[in-house]
Amino acid sequence: MSNIILVGFMGTGKTTVGKMLENATGLPLIDMDQLIEQEAGTSISEIFANEGEAHFRRLERAMAQKLATRSNHIISTGGGIVLNPDNLTDFARNGLVVCLTASPDTILNRVRNDKNRPLLAGDKEQQIYDLLQQRQPLYDAIPFQVATDPYTPEQITEIILKHFRSHTD
């Protein structure tokens, strides 16, 4: 296992923890959504608006296949990566898949003012509850879970590193 792959619903701390893991390990952080935006030449919000979620999921799948072959990286995925189980299977072949979790209230507090979340158009609170209900069984199927509500980003980073090191030693 040479990669650490961060999975979880939006607002669970993937970007923050990813940056801390990068600093702690020296492994480069790859943000999948940023990479998809760079390759597409447009924002995810624009991809959703102009070409639809299905098109975005195809781009996301292609990116997951590409990134799963890399070694020695921290990979921060988008919240919907779990919608295609092949993504997680591919990532698990060469890395520790970590599912970050948080309560709906914590998530709402973290994303309340974020305007770049196309799936949260309208009533953010209701959208979070609905999406979480839909995706929860997919997140729950990931063996290594870290609840981010009770811990600081530093503590979460240490929990992940201990687990990662115990599986790579």
The string of pLDDT tens digits covering residues 16-59 is 999 999 999 999 999 999 999 999 999 988 998 899 989 999 99
- Crossing angle of the two packed helices 53-67 and 44-51, in degrees rounded to 10: 130
Rounded Cα gap, residues 64 and 23, in angstroms: 23
Per-position DSSP letters for 21-85, written without gaps between them: HHHHH-PPEEEHHHHHHHHHTS-HHHHHHHH-HHHHHHHHHHHHHHHTT--S-EEEPPGGGGGSH
Handedness of CA 106, 124, 145, 28 (dihedral sign): negative
- What's the pTM value of the predicted model, to 2 decimals? 0.92
Stretch (H or E) spanning 148: none
Query: Residue 115's pLDDT is what?
Result: 63
Task: State which H helix or E strand residue 118 sits in.
Answer: none
DSSP 149: T
Tell me which CATH code domain 3-168 carries. Answer: 3.40.50.300
pLDDT on residue 74: 97
pLDDT mean for each 10 residues of the chain (169 residues): 91 94 96 94 90 93 96 93 95 95 89 64 78 92 95 96 85
